[in-house]
Amino acid sequence: MPTPARGSSTTPGAPDAEALCDAALAGDRRALARLLTAVENRTPLAEMALRRLYPLAGRAQLVGVTGPPGAGKSTLVAALIAELRRAGRPVAVVAVDPSSPITGGAVLGDRVRMQAYAADDGVFIRSMASRGHSGGLSAATTAAAAVFDAVGFDIVLIETVGTGQSEVEVAAAADTTVVVEAPEMGDEVQAIKAGLLEVADVIVVNKGDRPGAHRTAGQLHAMLADAPRDARPGRPSPKRPEVLVTTAATGEGVAELLAAIDRHRSTVRGSDGETSRLKRAEAQVWAVLVDRLHARVRALEGAEEVPAAGLSAAIPSPRVSAAGGLLRSVASHEIDPYAAADAILARLVGDAPGSREARK
């Protein structure tokens, strides 16, 4: 008997999920934390909880904050939290965290940040490991944001530590994407190297007290003037992002940044936000589809255990065991990946490459 795949069973933990949702909706932070852990691990409890909470979500503004290492993203997020709290606005943070299993790294840092607001129910900071999520990182992050949204957080900051493709996608799937840059980082503007410019709705040159901050802002202005607008994928009516200068450490310019974020919110309420909302829906639906397909592959006969490759959520390691023999033949180049995939697909859903039955 194959074990059920993550999220594929809805029965176990069901009452638990109901109770947790009620508690979280009533403001119980421990219940909220447990829900977020379930969502991150895509457990059956997460499926129950999301089915209950998802319809309650859809009001919060998701604000992605990304940029190269050393730009001061964490400090800027902390300054934004302080600014929002001054205005009495609740705020949740999802910190996408590539930190090493060996050291804990940034997760530890976020625990420390969290301490500062332990007594403030208006702030919730949650780290989410990017490790093992990469095809599904957008899904995991936006599912966590939906939980925060459902329990009443009006703004959710999504801070990505890395500047890899999946991290950029996470930030780009937010309603409003803030790209943080530090002045004079090396011989070129790092955000460009990382391909961040075309996903930015607001660009912040942080560490504004440093020499060259305003020169960097000027460079960015000039670049954006030259940039082909269609270079921002899927943005229906692309606008040039605002470029601001902040000094997060002193809080200078942070109120202006929040104002720019609020201004952008009004635009994403309309059709401008449609693409981000579709991206997030797509990521979540596809993640579930992959889990379901994964459950079927796991259920194939001839499952045998091999060391988990743990490549990514989009390539769940148990699949190694599902068609282990086939994968070994591919690994030894006896058969090609297409032959193996079609053999697996044929066993899963009938005739392999064709989609005749799907057209019925």
Residue corresponding to tokens 């032959």: 339
In the region spanning residues 58 to 97, those forming contacts with a second copy, defined by CB under 8 A, are 58, 68-70
Establish if 27 lies at the interface with a second copy (CB under 8 A): no
In the region spanning residues 224 to 253, those forming contacts with a second copy, defined by CB under 8 A, are 227-228, 231, 233-234, 236
Interface residue with a second copy, options 12, 27, 195, 302 (CB under 8 A): 195
In the region spanning residues 104 to 123, those forming contacts with a second copy, defined by CB under 8 A, are 105-106
Establish if 303 lies at the interface with a second copy (CB under 8 A): no
Establish if 201 lies at the interface with a second copy (CB under 8 A): no
Establish if 222 lies at the interface with a second copy (CB under 8 A): no
Give 222's Cβ-side CA count (13 Å radius). 7
Q: Which residues of 298-333 are buried (b: 16+ CB within 10 A; e: fewer)?
A: bbbeebeeeeeeeebbbebebbbbbbbebbebbeee
Q: Which amino acid is at 210?
A: R
Establish if 194 lies at the interface with a second copy (CB under 8 A): yes
Q: How far apart are CA 297 and CA 348, in angstroms?
A: 7
Tokens of 267: 């635009």
| Candidates 75-83, 115-123, 255-263, 296-304; binding stretch for a second copy (CB under 8 A) | 296-304
Interface residue with a second copy, options 74, 190, 216, 246 (CB under 8 A): 190
Establish if 144 lies at the interface with a second copy (CB under 8 A): no
Q: What is the 3-state secondary structure (H, E, C) of 101-114?
A: CCCCCHHHHHHHHH
Contact 198, 233 (CB under 8 A): yes
Interface residue with a second copy, options 122, 152, 164, 238 (CB under 8 A): 164
Q: How far is the CB of 261 from a second copy (least distance, A)?
A: 21
Establish if 133 lies at the interface with a second copy (CB under 8 A): yes
Interface residue with a second copy, options 81, 158, 171, 290 (CB under 8 A): 290
> For the chain, how long is the longest CA-to-CA vector?
65
Q: How far apart are CA 336 and CA 338, in angstroms?
A: 6
Establish if 47 lies at the interface with a second copy (CB under 8 A): yes
| Candidates 76-84, 111-119, 209-217, 341-349; binding stretch for a second copy (CB under 8 A) | 341-349
Contact 136, 43 (CB under 8 A): no
Tokens of 330: 């591919």
Tokens of 54: 């998802």
Q: How many CB atoms lie within 10 A of CB 28?
A: 16
Interface residue with a second copy, options 270, 289, 304, 325 (CB under 8 A): 289
In the region spanning residues 3 to 22, those forming contacts with a second copy, defined by CB under 8 A, are 7-10
DSSP 3-state of 41: helix
Interface residue with a second copy, options 60, 282, 305, 325 (CB under 8 A): 282
Establish if 347 lies at the interface with a second copy (CB under 8 A): yes
Establish if 220 lies at the interface with a second copy (CB under 8 A): no
CB-nearer residue toward a second copy: 117 or 130: 130
| Candidates 77-85, 210-218, 260-268, 290-298; binding stretch for a second copy (CB under 8 A) | 290-298
Q: How far is the CB of 20 from a second copy (least distance, A)?
A: 16
Q: How far apart are CA 250 and CA 170, in angstroms?
A: 28
Q: Strands of 176-181's sheet, edge to edge?
A: 123-129, 91-97, 155-160, 61-66, 176-181, 202-205, 242-245
CB-nearer residue toward a second copy: 138 or 253: 138
Establish if 151 lies at the interface with a second copy (CB under 8 A): no
Establish if 304 lies at the interface with a second copy (CB under 8 A): no
